[in-house]
């Protein structure tokens, strides 16, 4: 396991298989993180265990070499996120990546009402995956279709929300922490939350803090990893 606490990189064998905890920066795709690491360590077999949207930050688990065989093991772990739901806004992507439409937030909206709606998301819920997602339908990623203005049918899926804590209410912003099963779209929760309050909402901030028992506080930034790898002996491509 490679974390920010790993001191001796000379003992690592990326081709045999390593697990890296990475703190993804904003505006980067998960693919870009993999590309940068693959180029730095000079190993062909590198992959991540769960996509983060470009605007999101936080924990990515990267597997190299023979460790990529453990991909499913990590993908099945629960995830924890912190973020902000902003009421009174909607967008096609359900976040701030696409054009925002403004709506009025009810003046009589109370904390009690917000918590009551929150409770409806706890336990098993059904989600329809967003068009702006990496999910494939007939071999095509949905976000490619969405950017062309196309909408296709998506099958609902069941996910499980084990924790949904409202950390702070500072309208129109609702700060939250969510613990959920694999395949959960936090953007859809934000969108559906706004619909239930009658004013719409977008996900305006998202950070993944945990995957299973792995924590972003132990993760390396990509630049830190590249600097550490740069001090290693020349790697052979495998």
Task: Name the pLDDT band for 232 (thresholds 50, 70, 90).
Answer: low
Distance CA 182, CA 172 (A): 28
Q: Which of 53, 95, 213, 218 is catalytic?
A: 53
Q: How many angstroms separate the CA atoms of 222 and 26, rounded?
A: 12
pLDDT reading at 2 higher than 50? yes
pLDDT in the model for residue 237: 41
Considering the segment(s) 79-211 as one domain, its CATH architecture is: 2-Layer Sandwich (3.30)
Q: Which two tokens stand for residue 194?
A: 């706004």
> Which residues in 108-135 are b (16+ Cβ under 10 Å) and which e?
ebeeeebeebbeebeeebebebbbbbeb
Please indicate whether residue 95 is annotated as part of the active site.
Answer: no
Q: Given a cut of 90, is residue 105 above it in pLDDT?
A: yes
Q: How confident is the model at residue 236 (pLDDT cuts 50, 70, 90)?
A: very low
Provide mean pLDDT across the span 62-80: 96
Give residue 234's pLDDT: 54
Residue 27, sorted as left (phi over 0), alpha (psi -120 to 50) or beta, turns out to be left
Tell me what the pLDDT averaged over the chain comes to: 93
pLDDT attached to residue 233? 59
SS3 139: coil
Q: Count of CB atoms within 10 A of residue 24's CB?
A: 27
Is the pLDDT confidence value at 231 over 70?
no
In this predicted structure, the answer to whether residue 46 has a pLDDT above a threshold of 70 is yes
166 pLDDT above the threshold of 90: yes
Report the percent of the chain where pLDDT is more than 90. Answer: 82
Q: Tell me: the pLDDT tens digits for 194-227?
A: 999 999 999 999 999 999 999 999 999 999 999 8
What CATH number was assigned to the domain covering residues 9-76+213-230?
3.30.2350.10
The region that residue 55 occupies, defined by phi over 0 for left and psi between -120 and 50 for alpha, beta otherwise, is alpha
Could you tell me the residue ranges of all domains in the chain?
A: 9-76+213-230, 79-211
Instruction: Tell how strand 101-102 and strand 140-141 pair up.
Output: unpaired
Domains 9-76+213-230 and 79-211 share a fold: yes
Residue 137's pLDDT is 84
74 pLDDT more than 80: yes
């Amino acid at each position: 396991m490679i974390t920010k606490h790993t001191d001796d990189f000379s003992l690592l064998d990326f081709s045999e298989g390593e697990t890296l905890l990475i703190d993804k920066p904003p505006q980067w795709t998960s693919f870009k993180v993999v590309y940068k690491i693959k180029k730095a360590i000079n190993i062909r077999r590198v992959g991540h265990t769960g996509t983060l949207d470009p605007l999101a930050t936080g924990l990515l688990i990267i597997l190299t070499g023979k460790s990529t065989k453990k991909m499913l093991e990590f993908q099945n772990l629960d995830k924890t996120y912190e973020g902000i739901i902003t009421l009174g806004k909607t967008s096609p992507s359900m976040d701030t990546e696409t054009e925002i439409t403004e709506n009025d937030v009810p003046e009589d909206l109370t904390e009690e009402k917000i918590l009551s709606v929150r409770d409806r998301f706890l336990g098993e819920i059904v989600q329809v995956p967003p068009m702006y997602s990496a999910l494939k339908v007939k071999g095509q990623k949905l976000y490619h279709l969405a950017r062309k203005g196309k909408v296709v049918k998506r099958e609902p899926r069941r996910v499980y929300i084990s924790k949904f804590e409202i950390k702070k209410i500072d309208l129109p912003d609702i700060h939250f922490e969510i613990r959920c099963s694999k395949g959960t779209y936090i953007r859809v929760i934000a969108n559906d939350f706004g619909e239930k309050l009658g004013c719409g909402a977008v996900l305006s901030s998202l950070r993944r803090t945990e995957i299973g028992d792995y924590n972003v506080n132990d993760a390396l930034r990509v630049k830190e990893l590249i600097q550490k790898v740069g001090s290693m002996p020349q790697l052979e491509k495998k």
